Structure 1
């Protein structure tokens, strides 16, 4: 809880950098080609930034529902999480992946991440509708593992830059994959071992 709270706070601080909306703040300073030539880019970028922070929080609240008396809210929390991922966060993430820094390898990874995020969330939704709740839970864990890539990507970036000082574009190519593959492998291991 403490670890998630700390990293969520850091993510929230990053999100605050983009309030108010401006085409020239922070990360967008190196994306001026897209900002200038693609009118939809800013809308989808801000959709992704603003919704992803809520998805992180909703996913965490769903995990804590029993310990904090939120069991009755689980359905509504889950519906909100699923709606935001399927309709906003994942589609905008796939779009952002198309224009990711770091060349083809980064773009490919972020596009795959966005597609898998959408698929795992949709699968969890379908299983809940079918009342297959154990499978639903496992697929929600997969979805949340991909949601957490927003945090793990930044953790890996700090570690790699601190230890190896690589070229910035090389960093993008590495963290694009490290941000989500270890997460999903860990969840698969825990599911296989029936820990989750």
Structure 2
């Protein structure tokens, strides 16, 4: 049962990554009139925001896919080199590239202070949990390392859940004005993910994966 659930999870994440890739391709034009950037005309001229946006957009898929390899017991126990390389890519890209870019972007988020507060908290928690995952890895405390990486990846997947909830709200025609809807999405994109991560940790998922570390 667990194996089947894992297979569906992997397929779901890979499909979501494919959709994110499709959404990212138009931004290769580096033009202010593309999709989401149409809502950012007043700040597009701000260089640190603009650079952060493109960095975050083009690195997000790499983080999602590299992070996925961290939670396969088979890869961890039989293909440790893949686990280590993908883990290195995940840590470096999150801590030094995409995470800082996301933090810069969060101060300029649509929706005003409520949404900005949400995304600032998300960015700080994402960077913090990832750093703690690295910290405990260096100390060879693998159980704590695994737990913090689960939390980190749950926050990574906020990029997926944000778009999923946005799609579902459109399907069910949720009657909220655009600003209120975006504020709701900003909080819903990561809080449920973190709650699910804590439930999985409490149920011993990490201990199961690391049992043969």
TM-score, normalised by the number of residues in structure 2: 0.86
The match for 2:74 among 66, 72, 92 is 66
The match for 1:14 among 23, 36, 57 is 23
The match for 1:166 among 162, 176, 179 is 176
Gaps of 5+ in 2: 1-9, 207-213
Conserved in 1, the CA contact under 8 Å of 2:136 and 2:145? yes
Distance 1:65 1:185 in 2: 22
Residue in structure 1 matched with residue 65 of structure 2 by the alignment: 57
Distance 2:143 2:155 in 1: 19
**1:154 Cα deviation (Å)?**
0.8
Residue in structure 2 matched with residue 46 of structure 1 by the alignment: 54
Matches within 5 A, 1:44-193: 44-64=52-72, 66=74, 70-163=79-172, 164-193=174-203
State the number of aligned residues: 195
Conserved in 2, the CA contact under 8 Å of 1:15 and 1:53? no
Distance 1:71 1:121 in 2: 20
Gaps of 5+ in 1: none
Q: What is the Cα-based RMSD across aligned positions, in Å?
A: 1.6
1:83-110 CA deviation, whole Å, 9 max, x = no partner?
A: 1101111111111111111111100000
Change (3 A) 1:6 1:165: farther
Conserved in 1, the CA contact under 8 Å of 2:95 and 2:130? yes
**1:63 Cα deviation (Å)?**
2.5
Deviates further, 96-105 or 69-78: 69-78
Deviates further, 2-11 or 90-99: 2-11
TM-score, normalised by the number of residues in structure 1: 0.94
